[in-house]
Amino acid sequence: MPDRTRHLSGALVVVALVGAVIGSLGAPLITPVSRELGVSLNDAQWTLTITLLVGAVAGPVLGRLGGGAQRRSVILGALVAVVIGAVLTTAPGPFWLLLVGRGLQGLALGSVPLLMSVARSHLPDERGRRSIAALSVTSTVGIGVGYPLVGWIDDLAGLRAAYGLGLVLAVIALVVAWWAVPREAPAPPPRIDIVGAVLLGVGTLGVLVAIAVPAVWASASSAVLLPLVTVGVLVAWVVVELRTPTPLVDLRLLARPTVLRANGAMLVSGIGMYLLFSLFTRFLQTPADAGYGFALAGVAAGAALIPFSALGFVAGRTTPPLIVRVGDRGAFVVAIGAVMLAAVVFAAGTTSLILVLVAMAVLGFGVGAVSAVMPALVLTGVPAAETASVLTVNQVLRQIGFSVGSALAGAMLAAATPAEGEYPTPDGYLVAAWWALPPLALSLIALLVSKRGSSGQ
């Protein structure tokens, strides 16, 4: 199918971009969900967190299912599930049903490594590398594409209609993938590490609950039991992955110094980046009766995030040349420096809409640059045959970092909310923003404190 192959790169980016828009729908609709469904803002935050959680667990599962001949079928099957999830979010129903739908939509995020592997397998080397870099920054660009539309639809027709945008986009992604993704040569079906998938999901959920649900620490029994169970589950997962012949995640790849450092940097920087992103979006949407914030809702809230995506797109185009000039680790330093600068600008300008928008734009550049440089960092010294596995591990850690950052933002703001109040105090936002700096600094340490001689050095 020559015509399809010629347009494959663009089609893969479209599918990933649509998935990014769908995955991030929760952020601009957190406040509307809280108001219309009568749940707390902290609970409404889970409409974003659960999508990231499912994306983290689904990545390696889809990667294994999509090995060889099954790749096209798995991509299409995942998108069918995303369509079903979109239907659940659009249809009137209780809050738990909305969460189920948002969870299914997380499969769109989990399919990105598969899309990258398609690019590498079916595109020439240079086009494949460019496509993988473009796929890496779709999550940043997708926010600016979807948020204004989501806000406009929410203003015009309400919450469920806004989620209906996800349904339309999911159908478009399914059609594009069906048309463009090539069939693979026949091969035996892969063996799936179901036990590993369950343990990873339960362990990650335990971490998120410990962060996002402060009530678990109010009881002495739950404060002891939850950490013990979570650690025990994650240890069991490591044991299973090391012993099974077909692991969900090849943990032995993590023992390679370059891969270990890059993945560690991705995990902790993801926490800091998404913590800031969650803070900025909620601060901009805070209603006027809170006494602070800018009461941006609907179209205005969406438009406020265009700078985030615009600078993320710029970062995606400028980072490859930057890598040539200063090396991959040098480019990562620039990216993390931009994210840190965004936190400082936000903390210094919470009373100025312009400064908060500047902070959002700088954050977008930093997030886009981290996404663009990460494939180069994580693939240093990795054999070509293991590209998909390494990228899957990195995507898992990225989604886990984002999930923890999202949950951490909700927990910090909930802790800063007075007992009889509805909104956090302004100082709560400032404290949370400063707390984004330690994981960002740790990501630099994880990558830079190493032997010289890595790529780009």
Please provide the DSSP assignment of 164-213 as one string: HHHHHHHHHHHHHHHHHSPPPPP-PPPP--HHHHHHHHHHHHHHHHHHH-
For the segment 217-246, the average pLDDT, to the nearest whole number, is 88
Least confident of 7-21, 245-259, 352-366: 245-259
* 300/305 Cα distance (integer angstroms): 9
- CA dist 214 → 118, 206, 218, 410 (Å): 42, 13, 7, 10
Residues 78-114, buried b or exposed e (16+ Cβ, 10 A)?
A: bbebbbbbbbbbbeeeebeebbbbbbbbbbbbbbbbb
CB atoms within 10 A of CB 332: 29
Indicate the pLDDT class of residue 174, thresholds 50, 70 and 90: very high
- CA dist 192 → 55, 236, 248 (Å): 17, 17, 7
pLDDT over 60 at 457, yes or no: no
For the segment 220-226, the average pLDDT, to the nearest whole number, is 84
* 27/44 Cα distance (integer angstroms): 9
Query: Which pLDDT score, from 0 to 100, does residue 456 have?
Result: 42
Query: Which pLDDT score, from 0 to 100, does residue 116 have?
Result: 81
Least confident of 65-69, 413-417, 419-423: 65-69
pLDDT over 60 at 133, yes or no: yes
pLDDT over 50 at 256, yes or no: yes
- Of residues 425 and 191, more confidence is placed in 425
For the segment 333-340, the average pLDDT, to the nearest whole number, is 97
Highest mean pLDDT among 17-21, 60-64, 263-267, 291-295 belongs to 263-267
How many residues appear in the chain?
457
Query: CB under 8 Å, gap of 24 or more: what pairs does 326-330 form?
Result: 326/456, 327/455, 327/456, 327/457, 328/373, 328/376, 328/377, 328/380, 328/454, 328/455, 328/456, 329/377, 329/447, 329/448, 329/454, 329/456, 329/457, 330/456
Q: Under CATH, which number does the domain 2-181+248-448 receive?
A: 1.20.1250.20
Least confident of 36-45, 295-304, 361-370, 404-413: 295-304
Question: CB-based contacts of 239: which residues, under 8 Å, 6+ apart?
Answer: none
Least confident of 42-46, 104-108, 174-178, 335-339: 42-46
* 305/263 Cα distance (integer angstroms): 28
Domain boundaries, the chain: 2-181+248-448, 193-247
Query: Which pLDDT score, from 0 to 100, does residue 257 have?
Result: 84
pLDDT over 50 at 452, yes or no: no
For the segment 426-438, the average pLDDT, to the nearest whole number, is 95
